Structure 1
Amino acid sequence: MDVAMVFASDVDATGNALSSARGERRTVAIAFADIVGYSTLMAADEDGTYRRWMDLLHGLIEPATQRCGGRIVDVLGDGVLGAFQNPANAVTWARAIQRGIRADVEAAGSVDPVPVVLRIGIHVGDVFESNSQIFGDAVNFAARLQCHAAPGGIVISERVLDALDASARVDFRDLGYVELKGFDKRARLFASETELVRFTVPIQAVAGLPSLAVLPLLDQSGDADDAHFADGFAEDVGMSLAGLHELFVVSPASSAIFRGREADPREVGRALGVRYALLGRMRRMSQGYSISLQLCDTYSGAMLWGDRVRIGIGEIFDLQDEVARKSAMLLAPQVRFAELRRAMRKPPESQTAYDRMLRALYTIGSADYDTFERARSYLAEAMVEEPEFALPVAWAARWHSVRIGRGWSQDPDDDAAQALQLAARATRIDRANALALATMGHMNTMLRRDSDAALQCFSEALAACPNHPLVWTLSSATLAYLGNGEEAVRRAEQGLRLSPHDPMRYSQLMFLGIAHYASGSFDEAVRWQRRALAENPLHGATLLLLAAALAATGSREDARQVAARFMAVRPGFSLETYSRTRLPFFAPGLREAFASHLKEAGLPN
């Protein structure tokens, strides 16, 4: 328990002062309250925290106590102790305190960046009073309650609820029976969590990027080596997420203040100013280790996503990087989805550049032409609002490339020029942005036909963010076109592993099919192109590649049927023009084979 506060009425029913006789037994209402995250606040700003606590104590708590007929029995650093004559007075006092704190935080012109927030627990029972202090089992019971309250909330025992009239019970909800430390029997508790205090001014990241703290794993094994892994894991996940440039990730040094203890997500948000927190714990098992992770919203405390990873004994350090990468890549889409839901609820005038970019990502994977076209307007708005924000610029370049690939471009040369221009602009804005570098690499391959420049971009992208799925996927295509099919397959598979639920999954599957074609595994190429086609039946590039792969396997009739579907989508296609301007393979043997397979499929010259 961080701190406690107990209040006992110093006036009895007839208005006489409570007796100060040594050891006198009385029934009083006891209220414990503690400061949420006191140790964290003191570690961050000892002088400021003490000053704010004293201001709250003398300016709000003491006057409210006097008005409600109670007295402060003791002040214990991060809380106070006392008792009231009856539960109704104690609850009235608790509500006055929480409303007062909230009013101060929300007051116009408030300058307190990290307000002191209390949790309050109230019980009623018999106590002994001696030398102005109170003792007894009821005091110990009351001291266990406030840890079950939300920050800014109140928890009461069943005895207190029974003593309240109907109107005072309305906003208390039943928490059921809970375990209390030091007590054999579970206790039924009730909570009031309405109008919670807003804990802190959130981090204002560039372009409205969502903010996240990755906390050290809570090590439940007690082994020193495991503790090192718990800290290192958090640092690795944080670095992987930061490398995506889609999140503002708080430094591991700041998150380390939560090392070794289980933190309330709302406390994390309040202490670090972040919107999201990744919490986890590590437990030793007979056959290895179990790591459980939770992504939480620090405003509501709600869990948005969870995952569990098991590692065998002896593998813990060998697999640290792999597990961290997997966790980071699973986590990023969850934050993106949560932010998208928030962005969809915002009026247009309140949306940030990041909000608009998310809306574009939501629509860019659509198989509907009009929906796809809207993505470009969202990206244009984002670029106007934040001209130095590289992500929407890079995605705009990718949009033009996808538009060409789908056969929706009215002027492929103009889209190609815009894709190159935007990709170059994105890399100028942020040379360490993996998405921008990968997009520029792909444009160098497909439009400039400069594989050396492309490979250099992909190398820089992987150095900037080794876990970006699009870097692995797009680089696989360049390697396939160069004839390095084996490495192309490996990279395409890695891209799939890193983003198993990608909104443009059809594209990932298509590139894996290209890699297998380049390696000479034509049956595998057919399998993966069919899977890509199932995700997006009208994607022209996939139909073309499937037709070639089927012809390569000798399935000429199937190849001709797919080629006919392709021509329905691309009625103006000419094999001669395509071979001269768009055929992607660099390796002479592959170029000739691919053109020959397309011809066998029946595509017109």
Structure 2
Amino acid sequence: RAQEIVGDNELLATAEGLIYWQSVNVGLVPTEQYDELLSKAEACVTRIFAINPESSKGYGLRGAIRNNRADPAGAMADFKRALALDPNDPEALLWLGYNYAVAGRGALARALMERLQKVDPLTSINLCMFGMVAMFDGHYDEALRWTQRSVDIDPTNPSHRMVHALMLAANGHRDEATMMLERVAHDATDMAWARMAPAMAHALRGERREVLRVMTTELRAAVWGDDIFCWWAADALALAGEREGALEFVERVVALGWINYPFLARSEPFLANIRGEPRFAKLMERVRRAWEAFEA
């Protein structure tokens, strides 16, 4: 309707593209629709650049899409270009910071998060992401403080509550974490990934059979395209002692750009059950080389 009134413009095309992308990013649609919606989002990028070839919003949207297309290098290039055009672009600050964090460049990630806090200090995802940056740096106590702030501001957001629950568990508050995970599962039934919440709750209780019951082939396929969801799957399966499945998902998060060697090899608490596996050791050697070779 807005396009009918004012015609196509950069902001409307960006908003439309973000709707398509977010439908995939948070799992609002079946997995078989992911490619179609990402293609629609890419068409919006084409429209944006036709209107403004130097659009920071266009680069930011394309970077987000590339993240979901398993192209972390392309995503980072786009986010960097977006920030060169607009140093205060909140989406680019958020996602470039995230990409630096998963690559094990904590200082760079923190610098972007600190700038983001000056630009937009009250949006809940920005607080949650600062917590994740702290987590990727091995500081789970600090991470918990940030994720607590995110759920205080936006207590109904299921993805932030999921992250906060994992921070609670990592800091020894497993009972509180499992209660929150159960509430997420109850409140976010429209999102495919939300079924990871009961899987993680069962895993934290050591209920292996229940974890495997929840982690169906369909659910595994639904989370396969997203690095964060694959991380949750790896954690749940590792805690349940399902080593092969956990290793498969750790390999997937590495393929999706996670080369933070200290985090994966040492500080991530829920992968302890698989660190003695030869397959894990071989993967970590590859991750270490990529981490050392990474150039920001």
Please tell me whether residue 519 in structure 1 is matched to residue 221 in structure 2.
no
Letter in 2 for 1:354: K
Aligned residue number for residue 347 of structure 1: 49
Q: 1:448 to 1:471 in 2, by over 3 A?
A: same
Aligned residue number for residue 474 of structure 1: 163
Deviations for 1:19-54, whole angstroms, at most 9, x for unmatched residues?
Answer: xxxxxxxxxxxxxxxxxxxxxxxxxxxxxxxxxxxx
Aligned residue number for residue 174 of structure 2: 485
Q: CA deviation at 1:430?
A: 1.3
Q: CA deviation at 1:544?
A: 4.9
**What is the aligned counterpart of 1:393 among 79, 93, 97?**
93
Q: Is the 8 A contact 1:483 1:518 kept in 2?
A: no
Aligned residue number for residue 41 of structure 1: none
* TM value normalised by structure 1: 0.34
Q: CA deviation at 1:447?
A: 1.4
Deviations for 1:518-543, whole angstroms, at most 9, x for unmatched residues?
Answer: 23333333445566643328978467
Q: CA deviation at 1:342?
A: 2.5
Aligned to 1:346, what secondary structure does the other structure show?
helix
Q: Distance between the aligned counterparts of 2:122 and 2:80, measured in 1?
A: 22
Letter in 1 for 2:45: A
Mapping for residues 580-591 of structure 1, pairs under 5 Å: 582-585=266-269
Q: Is the 8 A contact 1:480 1:515 kept in 2?
A: no
Q: CA deviation at 1:439?
A: 0.5
Please tell me whether residue 429 in structure 1 is matched to residue 119 in structure 2.
yes
Letter in 1 for 2:224: N
Q: CA deviation at 1:355?
A: 2.7
Q: Which moved more, 1:431-440 or 1:527-536?
A: 527-536
Stretches of structure 1 lacking an aligned partner (at least 5 in a row): 1-150, 152-196, 212-245, 248-274, 276-294, 296-303, 305-328, 331-335, 552-557, 571-576, 586-590
Q: Is the 8 A contact 1:476 1:487 kept in 2?
A: yes
Mapping for residues 15-164 of structure 1, pairs under 5 Å: none
- Kindly name which structure, 1 or 2, has the bigger radius of gyration based on alpha carbons: 1
Q: Distance between the aligned counterparts of 2:208 and 2:92, measured in 1?
A: 37
Q: CA deviation at 1:437?
A: 0.8
Q: 1:467 to 1:489 in 2, by over 3 A?
A: same
Please tell me whether residue 595 in structure 1 is matched to residue 251 in structure 2.
no
Q: Distance between the aligned counterparts of 1:520 and 1:448, measured in 2?
A: 24
Mapping for residues 20-419 of structure 1, pairs under 5 Å: 199=5, 209-210=11-12, 341-347=43-49, 349-350=52-53, 352-366=55-69, 368=70, 371-401=71-101, 404=102, 409=103, 412=104, 415-419=105-109
Q: 1:360 to 1:431 in 2, by over 3 A?
A: same
Q: 1:210 to 1:458 in 2, by over 3 A?
A: farther
Q: 1:396 to 1:515 in 2, by over 3 A?
A: farther
Name whichever structure is richer in strand by fraction.
Answer: 1
Letter in 1 for 2:272: A
Q: Is the 8 A contact 1:383 1:389 kept in 2?
A: yes
Q: Is the 8 A contact 2:233 2:249 kept in 1?
A: yes
Q: Distance between the aligned counterparts of 1:473 and 1:425, measured in 2?
A: 25
Q: CA deviation at 1:352?
A: 3.0
Aligned-residue CA RMSD in angstroms? 4.7
Aligned length: 251
Q: Distance between the aligned counterparts of 1:530 and 1:563, measured in 2?
A: 14
Aligned residue number for residue 462 of structure 1: 151
Q: 1:454 to 1:469 in 2, by over 3 A?
A: same
Q: CA deviation at 1:470?
A: 3.4
Q: 1:465 to 1:541 in 2, by over 3 A?
A: closer
Stretches of structure 2 lacking an aligned partner (at least 5 in a row): 21-26, 29-36, 255-260, 283-296
Q: Is the 8 A contact 2:60 2:78 kept in 1?
A: yes
Higher relative contact order (CA 8 A, sep 6+): 2
Q: How many percent identity over aligned positions?
A: 16
Q: Is the 8 A contact 1:419 1:443 kept in 2?
A: yes
Q: CA deviation at 1:449?
A: 1.4
Q: CA deviation at 1:568?
A: 7.2
Name whichever structure is richer in helix by fraction.
Answer: 2
